[in-house]
Amino acid sequence: MPAGNKEKLEYAVRYGADAVYLGLGEFSLRSMRKGEIITEQNLKSSVELAHQLGAKAYLTLNIFAFNSDIKNLEANFEVISDSKPDAIIFSDFGIYNVIKKYMPDVELHVSTQTNILNYETVRFWQDLGATRAILARELSIDEIAEIKSKVPDMEIEVFVHGAQCVSFSGRCLLSDYMTHGERKANHGGCAQACRWSYKLVEKTRPLEPFEINEDERGTHILSPKDLNLIRLIPQLVDAGVDSLKVEGRTKSLYYVSAVAKAYREAIDRYCDNNLTQFDDLYDELRKVGNRGYTQGFYTGKPNSDGYSYDISKGLAGADFLCEFWDKVEQDNSTKFLVKIKNKILIGDEIEVITPDEKFVSKVVSITNKDNESVEVANTNDEIYLTLSRNPLDYKYALARTLGIKNER
């Protein structure tokens, strides 16, 4: 699972991840711009946190590097080495050389950015010392299975969920061109130009743009739907895939938690009990932000149904309502201190999820920090809730609205 910051790292593991991947902004394909982020100062403690929780931590150094990047990387490598990640994810040959120079014994995972499409490429990287190949997203499950059968002693990782680029395995130049080099996609600054609305302009009529399709919002002709392979977990396991990867270091705490919980349950159902029906878990994933879902190339060549033509913004089927922080026993009842993400009213029915539970509860009372009763809890409030049903363990509990809305 992605770890955009330390809090998301912990929730990802608590909700079921065996490993997390994290990155430093200068050397990673995701430049976080808000919240507590992973930096040189907290990299070591972030890796240690994952280890304390029983998970592995993989460091992404997967930019395509210029000379200045190599110099900067070498200047920072003592910090990287001292953090002791379980593996480094890379794509650039120069960065590979730097890693081998300063951390010759670290495990190497080859990024999807290298476009690994065949078993000979996997063998090539294995001969260079890599222990895992993160395959391109343009492969079918049958092709993945053939790669694993040809190189059985190499770990294989595939993306199973999250946003996709219109370009080949994420190697996009649209952002570079459209921002005049100010937002380089392969340096963590992608402007997501594939999500923009486009119109057709005839050369002699520059002020008369035409809709490519009849749509009052324009046409998002380059915007792929999000990947969702939860129904294909049995086929991926049987194909010999060693690691399933979710995109989303810039996604919310709720997204990371709910997606980890769904895929953890799917994997366990199949591996422990040979169960193959995951429609309920698919519905769980409809409750997190998405642009509509597709299985991409994994079941064959995708068609036009794999694109989100009408809108580029991800919409969640359920609203993230609050994050549980603490509890107090008062007036013969339990009150939970929560951080409000979206408005909650007295009497609202909410769905509470924890690493081990999911249930519906009702908001009985709302109390501010001055112990005054209020009718509504607004976004960003830190406030106390009394519920009709309490989680067995409130730590890492989250709440959302019931049902599924904003159908994509």
Confidence of residue 222 (pLDDT cuts 50, 70, 90): low
Strands 87-90 and 107-110: parallel
Return the pLDDT at 179.
75
> Per-residue pLDDT averaged across 64-68, rounded?
93
pLDDT at 49 over 70: yes
pLDDT at 31 over 80: no
Return the pLDDT at 359.
98
pLDDT at 181 over 90: no
Q: How does the average pLDDT of the chain come out, rounded?
A: 89
More confident residue, 207 or 114: 114
Please state the pTM of the whole predicted model.
Answer: 0.88
Share of residues in the chain with pLDDT > 90 (%): 69
- DSSP code per residue over 227-289: EE-GGGHHHHHHTT--EEEE--TTS-HHHHHHHHHHHHHHHHHHHHH-----HHHHHHHHTS-
List Cβ neighbours of 85 (8 Å cut-off, separation of 6 or more): 47, 57, 58, 59, 106
CATH 2.30.30.100 fits 320-400, yes or no: no
Q: With the C-alpha atoms ordered 163, 244, 30, 319, is the resulting torsion angle positive or negative?
A: positive
Strands, E, within 62-164: which ranges? 87-90, 107-110, 132-134, 155-162
Q: What is the CATH number of domain 6-188+222-306?
A: 3.20.20.70
pLDDT at 5 over 50: yes
The predicted-structure confidence for 328-341, as pLDDT tens digits, reads as follows 998 889 999 999 99
> Per-residue pLDDT averaged across 247-276, rounded?
95
Q: With the C-alpha atoms ordered 202, 208, 211, 214, is the resulting torsion angle positive or negative?
A: negative
The predicted-structure confidence for 283-319, as pLDDT tens digits, reads as follows 999 999 988 898 988 998 776 676 665 665 678 899 9
Q: Are 8 and 23 in contact (CB under 8 A)?
A: no
Coil, strand or helix: which one is 400? strand
Most confident of 3-17, 181-195, 206-220: 3-17
Range name among 15-19, 34-38, 154-158 with the lowest pLDDT average? 34-38
CA distance 199 to 191: 18
> Per-residue pLDDT averaged across 264-281, rounded?
97
Confidence of residue 214 (pLDDT cuts 50, 70, 90): very low
Coil, strand or helix: which one is 382? strand
Return the pLDDT at 221.
60
Locate the domains of the chain by residue range: 6-188+222-306, 320-400
Q: If residue 327 lies in a helix (H) or strand (E), which one and from where to where?
A: strand 320-330
Q: Kindly state the tokens that stand for 171.
A: 């190697």
CA 249 to chain centre: 5
Beta-bridge partner residues of 314: none
> Per-residue pLDDT averaged across 13-19, rounded?
98
Beta-bridge partner residues of 156: 133
- DSSP code per residue over 11-51: HHHHTT-SEEEEE-GGGSS----SSS---TTTHHHHHHHHH
